[in-house]
Amino acid sequence: MHVRIGTRGSVLAKAQAEQVGQFLQAHDPSITYELVVIHTKGDRILDRPLHQIHDKGLFVKEIEQQLLDGKIDLAVHSWKDIPSVLPEGFVLAPVILRENARDALVSRKGDFFSLPSGSVVGTGSFRRILQLKQLRNDLEYKNIRGNILTRLEKLDSGQYDALVLAEAGLKRIGLEKRICQTFSAWQCVPAAGQGALAIELRKDNDRLFDQLAKLCDEKENICVQFERAFLSRMNGSCSIPIGAYMECRGQEYVLYTVFGDPDRIVKTKHAGADPQQLLEQAVRQTEETYHG
């Protein structure tokens, strides 16, 4: 079987698509694959923070069109870039690959809590900014867009004192040595699905879906599905600060969530054996606290 894999053009996006291709090939040597690079609206609009663009399909629409037209067989995205509701005709395969979901600091001046007051911290995420402000309100949080390498160049040239990025992305392109500090899931609740690779297909591609389903990482799939369920229940998008992260510890799950607006955020943490119960508790507590 030959598989055409659609991907964005950044170094990270291509590394992620390559990882999926290699994973498929490792489990079935008869599979061959090629990467098809597709440029998205999110790659072209770099002068505004994500929460100001108001487009839930910012990084996926053009890729989905190629799927629809039959020019690619599957698309690889970051789960955190997928809108909470998929358009008709598409389906997401179960999770097969996930890296550490947490946010990390890359810095020229030490770890987050030792940065001098007034230091400029770059991030393109509204979710991160509001949570980091709760930890330190004496720093300047400045929007930064572009791929990881572009952001690191801006840091190294002195435009920023530190950056906050997903640890998973840095690891996938071999830059884990740049990480100065990793935030705990409570300090900075990750985006829903962060670190996980989302594989999108046409709904009618049963053969490929079934093949991917056999490779499912069941525990990570459960975690990502419930993180996404929180996003859906709260009608989340990149225009509001929202995040959810679930981890499995033996027989117990822990669900962290954050939700809010520019003026305030609500965080929750719930642990137990039933992921559905944790979701209901998180939604109820968030709604009651947020709406007063």
Output the CA–CA distances (angstroms, integers) from residue 198 to 25, 170, 216, 220, 282, in the order listed: 17, 18, 12, 12, 24
The token duo for 141 is 């949080």
How far is residue 231's CA from residue 292's CA, in Å, rounded to a whole number?
20
Q: Which residue in the list 81, 261, 263, 274 is annotated as catalytic?
A: 81
How far is residue 232's CA from residue 191's CA, in Å, rounded to a whole number?
13
Question: Per-residue DSSP letters for 201-244?
Answer: EETT-HHHHHHHHTT--HHHHHHHHHHHHHHHHTT--TTS-EEE
How far is residue 204's CA from residue 289's CA, in Å, rounded to a whole number?
42
156 as an active site residue: the answer is: no
Angle at 240 between CA 75 and CA 254, to 5 degrees: 75
| Contact criterion met (CB below 8 Å) for 140 and 119 | yes
* Residues contacting residue 280 through CB under 8 Å, at least 6 positions apart: none
Enumerate the active-site residues.
81
